[in-house]
Structure 1
Amino acid sequence: MIPSLPSMRRKPSPRILQPRRSENEKRDLSPGMPSAAERAQLSGRATYGGYAKHKRDPYAWGLEPYRGRAPDRTFCEDTGFGIADQQRIPQLLRRGIDAGLFGDLVRQGDPTMLWTLDDDGWIYELRQTIPGRALYHGYPLLPTNALGRKVIARFENWYLSLSRAQRQPAMLAALRGAQERYR
């Protein structure tokens, strides 16, 4: 009698990423602009913490490597956002909060998602890392993502509602760059 050989399994083919153009019901802007009080309250508490999942070289950012499987993840470095840009993160986080770029879901008093526009037009999506502590981690939104147009529309409405004295050139550059990138 011939002993049977163990069955050999082949590694599955890598997932082919398709551009996301459909709306994801679990990920959307809040239906209305958050109040000035809500924005001020979150702005005073929100902080950013890096997440290795969205870094090509986590060690360079002071993070342990991501060990999970996430074939569709995006990397900050792919947008030109490097370690030296870390100092701008609090300002970018505040920009998104001031513009009312809140997600429609709330967990333990804070929106589960936020968005912001960088000066070069990249949109960054920020997810709640620790509910109730207003700690977020972020990653670039792909230019093919349909949600980008909604984020840009809300940002533009907010920008135009500001007085001329409040409108900063970097905000206009962010808006114009995003309109070009996320057509």
Structure 2
Amino acid sequence: MPAVYLLPLLLPLISAQIFGWGPCPAPHVQPGFNIQKYLGRWYEIEKIPTSFARGKCIEANYALRIDGTIRVLNSQIYKDKLRSAEATAVIKDFREPAKLGVSFSFFSPYSPYWVLSTDYTSFAIVYSCTDFLYLFHWEYAWILGRSRFLPPYSVYYAKNLLSNEGVNIFRMRATDQKGCKDH
């Protein structure tokens, strides 16, 4: 079946994120990434909209498991209820520790989770891209903070870095973090 016929079936999955033709770009990742320093709570500051995180007060908590994998607990307030999802992250190649894979189910493959830049104490810039037979791809990008709000210069820096790496930030939107409590 030609890929053109599959596209309408995939549109509901890719309608929120950025869609592009051809294979995924390959942005640079954080050199010397240290997963131990990255662990802990991160708040979503801005993102390319996704179909799976539409709420407010979105945060993620990363913790090392005994087996060496990373527990990812994402939470958000959606329709006035606390919703959470647990995932497993792994470093796929220890020569490039900033390129992680994340899976939310035993049956689903690991999706890319690349840390493009972080200072570990205030901000992180994360990118993900999945392609289909190198014909087209869909991208996600997040700006994360250790606090619910980042100074404007940090957001500007993050968006500039994403743009310079070829990521289309036109659809990035701020996440509502007002009136939130830690989950």
> What is the TM-score with the length of structure 1 in the denominator?
0.30
Compare relative contact order (CA 8 Å, sep 6+) and give the higher one, 1 or 2: 2
The structure whose Rg is larger is 1
> What is the TM-score with the length of structure 2 in the denominator?
0.30
More strand by share: 2
More helix by share: 1
